Amino acid sequence: MTSKKKYTSAFIIVTLLFFLWGFITVLVDSLIPRLKDVFELSNFQAVLVQFAFFGAYFFFSVPAGWLLSKIGYKKGIILGLAVMAIGCVLFSPAASERIFFVFIVGYFTLAAGITILQVAANPYVAVLGSESGASSRLNLAQAFNSVGTTIAPIIGASFLLSDTIMSSEALAALSETAQKEYYVAEAAAVSSPFLLLAACIGILALVFLFIKLPKILEKSPKGGYLKLLRKKIALMGVLGIFLYVGAEVAIGSFLVLYFQDMNLAPVILENSFTTSIATNMLGDIGAVDAKAIVGAFVFLYWGGAMIGRFVGAVLTRLIKPGKVLAIFAGLAIFMIVVSMSSSGLTAMWSILAVGLFNSIMFPTIFTLTLEGLGDLKPQASGLLCTAIFGGAIVPPIYGYLADTIGFKFAFLFIIACYLYILYFGYKKQRINLLQTT
């Protein structure tokens, strides 16, 4: 088999992982509104689920890079999938016993497995070919990640948000038998999708057990992290990933609650176009909760990211990636401002459109940061994946602001995140321009 064919086969196989963790990550967003009702949590408390999920990136990214250098990418992928499966299985006892802490442990375990995959797959795709085409390749791989993030809200709306959660007062009025029946139904609604995921992940681990992947650089030079910390542009890229992931997750996590806060369900049902979308997603919308109606539109946020990444794979070949990044960050800011200053369907469509402009940010920041780092790329990849921890920090801050000053004013914090990303794209573009003149 030629090197080019071997790289193409490896790219296709590893892209399956991008789809998988995209699907699971966004399924977390669908679970947050349900957990908020089940455990009667504040917005800040509910988003602690995201803190547990993305906190795993902070603790495991650098150790995962070290582990992969010892056992190799293939065994690392299998280990990551096994850990993910364990995390999914933990949702069953958590739901059955109605223990919020066990959910947190389950998400943390699940994210630990995903972290191992992220640390391996992103740089792996980036080096499967020329450095000039790295942004395009990673955008394409991330596009399939977005296929997973687009499907997940539909599954979440159908299985996790489709019925009404009873309040503690309503539960107290039920008989002991009726309460037990209710808890059993709740456990099944939450745990069934994740048990199915655990089975699918197990099958995928078996697939990776029998396939061959081409080897890439796995050993890091001594003192690599100290050398990396002296490179300003690399640290700027790490902060860019931190703020991007945080902003993207904060918006995605609170879309349902934001739409509920604006009381969009009746507005959606008054419009024939939006009613048809909700009906296609949920079937008989007269029998579902308002959360499910507004939740059905979350898939458009992640769907926009999917479309944008396929387009971005082409754009970053035709236009300098730094310029594309700056333009997309500016357009994301514009859409947020429109949503803040409007109401009804205009506010809904504009905030959903942010997903389209989010699309190229992660892969483009990632590959722009790796540019020119040579044998420091493994360390840089570990730090960049650690920065995914932004998904644990930014959403709780936004949730706190939403609790205190409202969803719309809280978006000013998210705008600040995108302003930095715009600056990073501009700065990197200027550096590349100076290097070529």
Q: What is the pLDDT of residues 176-206, one digit of tens each?
A: 777 667 666 666 666 677 788 888 888 888 8
Name the domain count of the chain: 1
Please, which residues have CB within 8 angstroms of residue 48's CB and are 6 or more apart in sequence? 104, 396
Q: E strands within 301-422?
A: none
Which of 122, 19, 25 is CA-nearest to residue 76?
122
- Measured CA distances, 354 to 33, 139, 165, 206, 423 (Å): 21, 17, 30, 37, 18
Average pLDDT over residues 263-274: 82
Count CA within 13 A, CB hemisphere, residue 263. 1
Q: Residue 408: its pLDDT value, please?
A: 92
Q: CATH no. for residue 166?
A: 1.20.1250.20
- Measured CA distances, 344 to 252, 265, 405, 407, 419 (Å): 18, 10, 19, 14, 26
CB-CB neighbours of 319 under 10 Å: 12
How many Å is the maximal CA-CA distance in the chain?
78
Say if residue 352's pLDDT is above 90.
yes
Q: Residue 351: its pLDDT value, please?
A: 93
Structure token digits, residue 100: 């919020």
- Taking the C-alpha atoms of residue 335 and residue 84, their distance in angstroms, rounded to an integer, is 35
What average pLDDT is seen over the chain? 79
Read off the pLDDT of residues 380-419 as tens digits, 9 standing for 90 and up. 777 888 888 888 789 889 989 999 999 999 999 999 999 9
More confident residue, 332 or 100: 332
DSSP per-residue string spanning 110-131: HHHHHHHHHHHHHHHHHTSS-G
Domain boundaries, position 426: 3-435
